[in-house]
Structure 1
Amino acid sequence: MTLFASLFSSGKDRKDSIRGNYKPKKKHPAGSSRYTLRQSLKNNLAGGTLIKDSVICPEGEDENEWIAMNTIECYNTMNMCYSFIQEFCTENSCPQMTGAKATYLWTDGKGKPQELSAPKYIDNLTNWINDQIDNPSVFPVDDSDFPKNFRSVISKIISRMLRVYAHIYHAHWDHVKNLKVDKHTNTSLKHLQYFAEHFNLIGEKDISVMKHVFDTL
């Protein structure tokens, strides 16, 4: 099994010492289209398919279903990567949500943007993404049509996930290296990058903030 394929395995299947996720893992209902697509992705990766090729939607499949499945998988692996360093990301060590080139302010679209500590910001961020995934009007659970703004919502989700990676690489890379989980973190980010770029779900602003990292993957 390749390193990337191992990220899609259950805890029982893994042969490494990866910790549990920061947030509960989002699962695809057995028998659903997304469950089948995930199994196909996992099998292809286990068979040696390159990450860059793995993000391409299989011929004949619904592209929005494929995007929904990959978004959920990226969310799960992002949570896993944050769980590696969560104990080091505290109110005292990370009083601001920072990346290499930005300090991020939290906004829920209702009040003024506010400065939060990194752990509080990431908690808000993951709760918000979780709410989007659990909302059937955004991620349909049956044969309902996807909303017209589906891809714009996905773009916003990806933009926010990239902020978590930006903080990990900026503030906790020494911890990542010391824990020997750098390959898993790099591989998870690479999947998100290739997926977002292939479907034009990432903006130039987000690319510029992470370019120094993308160039090293």
Structure 2
Amino acid sequence: MGDAAGGRRWPAGLLRRSGVRASRVLRGHCGAAAPARLDIDDTVSCFCRKARRKDREGEAAGDPKLYLQEALLERKLPELDMRQLVDLPRGLDYNEWLASHTLALFDHVNLLYGCVSEFCTPASCPDMAGPGGRTYAWYDERGKKCRLAAPQYVDYVMTYTQKTVNDETIFPTKYANEFPAGFEGVVRRVVRLLYHVVAHLYAAHFRSLALLRLHAHLHLTFAHLTALDARYALLDHKETDVLRDLEVALRLTEPAGAGLGAAGAAGLGAAGPGAAGGSADSSPRRREPVVTQPLATA
């Protein structure tokens, strides 16, 4: 992995050492007693036994999703209203607000992936896959589409993001330095790439995260991503469709046909922050953000 701007590297070594420690915990965790309130080990073991039995019996296993099991739907700070977390405080610069959330999401996704990076190898994850058979391809600086194994893809994501946030011309930290005109477009790309990593964690490594008792942290990071997107329309609805069922299960989004209606629920991914029509309460995306600098199109 190459050096990021300023001679710094994203903490891959630290995270991979954390992953080694996590794997030791994981290997010895199956025999440990899980808290009776959650029954995480029992839920994971039962889920895996059912999946193996369906394979042996030749039944169509469909798309098993461990992360939708009721015992594993907890998340940290469940009483927190995520909309309040992402709403722009009065008088604060919009780009500054986006930058702070982008940095927080990058740190959390980076740490979560680092805990299971040892299990994400070219052999176990030959494709960058998300739920429902979704696969992600990397596009280089010339727009060329490249198929990469998941660890290589995540490496590219983390290296690109670290280099971007360390670039003073894009993420300014010094007095009198201004955000570039296309800053929101940069944030859109970073958030989209981080969403891909989160989707891969759910699709390929949720069992490991659950046994390590890190699934609630993943849910909270996902809730943060979802709330930020719902408020400022940073992601295309085609990107978020793969985890729409989890949004509903975590009560982050109304199910299709409830409240907003099917078209309204789908519209959570289609309308931008400046979309016309609809009330402020019906869809957070249709609420105008307070902007102190002009928004650039992505």
Give the TM-score normalised by structure 1: 0.75
Within the candidate set 243, 252, 274, 1:210 is matched to: 243
Instruction: Write the distance in 2 (CA, Å) between the matches of 1:65 and 1:92.
Output: 40
Distance (Å, rounded) in 2 between the aligned partners of 1:146 and 1:130 = 17
SS at match of 1:170: helix
- 80, 100, 106: which one pairs with 2:131? 100
**1:183 matched to which residue of 2?**
216
Which of 101, 117, 124 is 2:156 aligned to?
Answer: 124
Q: Report how far residue 130 of structure 1 moved.
A: 1.0
Q: Report Cα offsets for 1:36-85 as digits up to 9, x if no partner.
A: xxxxxxxxxx9x75332111121111111111011000100011111221
Which of 195, 198, 215 aligns to 2:228? It is 195
Which deviations, in whole Å up to 9, do the C-alpha atoms of 1:121-158 show, x marking residues without a partner?
10011101111111122111222221111111101111
Where 2:131 maps in the other structure, the secondary structure is coil
- 1:199 deviation in Å? 1.6
Q: Cα RMSD between the aligned structures?
A: 2.1
Matched-pair contact (CA < 8 Å) for 1:21–1:76: no
Structure of greater Rg: 2
Provide the residue aligned with 1:155 in structure 2. 188
* Counterpart residue type for residue 131 of structure 1: K
- Equivalent positions of 1:9-20 (< 5 A) are none
Shift in CA distance, 167/67, structure 1 to aligned 2, threshold 3 Å? same
Same amino acid, percent of matched pairs: 29
- Equivalent AA in structure 2 for residue 185 of structure 1: L
Which portions of structure 1, spanning 4 or more consecutive aligned residues, are displaced by more than 6 angstroms? none
- Tell me which residue corresponds to 1:52: 83
Specify every segment of 5 or more residues in structure 1 that has no aligned partner in the other structure, as ranges.
1-19, 24-45
Gap change, CA 1:112 and 1:63, over 3 Å in 2: closer
Residues 6-37 of structure 1: per-residue CA shift (max 9 Å, x gap): xxxxxxxxxxxxxx6469xxxxxxxxxxxxxx
For residue 94 of structure 1, what is the amino acid of its counterpart? Answer: C
SS at 1:98 equivalent: coil
1:115 and 2:147 are equivalent in the alignment: yes
Residue matched to 1:63 = 94
The 1:55–1:111 alpha-carbon spacing in structure 2 relative to 1, beyond 3 Å, is closer
Q: If the length of structure 2 is used for normalisation, what is the TM-score?
A: 0.55
After superposition, the Cα gap between the structure-2 partners of 1:209 and 1:139, relative to the gap in structure 1 and judged at 3 Å, is: same
The SS at the match of 1:57 is coil
CA distance in 2, matches of 1:22, 1:59: 40
Question: Does the CA contact (< 8 Å) of 1:22 and 1:82 recur in 2?
Answer: no
Contact 2:16 2:118 in 1 (8 A): no
Higher mean C-alpha deviation, range 162-171 or range 203-212: 203-212
Q: Is the 8 A contact 1:22 1:80 kept in 2?
A: no
Structure 1 residues 214 and 140, CA gap change in structure 2 (3 angstroms): same
Residue 72 in 1 paired to residue 103 in 2? yes
Q: Give ranges in structure 2 of 5+ residues lacking alignment.
A: 1-13, 18-76, 251-298
Write the distance in 2 (CA, Å) between the matches of 1:178 and 1:139.
Answer: 37
CA contact (8 A) 2:105 2:225 kept: yes
Residue of structure 2 equivalent to 1:135: 167
CA contact 2:164–2:170 (8 Å) conserved in 1:
yes
Partner of 1:7: none
Q: How many residues align?
A: 176
The whole-number CA distance in structure 2 between the counterparts of 1:192 and 1:126 is: 17
Structure 2 equivalent of residue 145 of structure 1: 178
Return the letter of the residue paired with 1:80: L
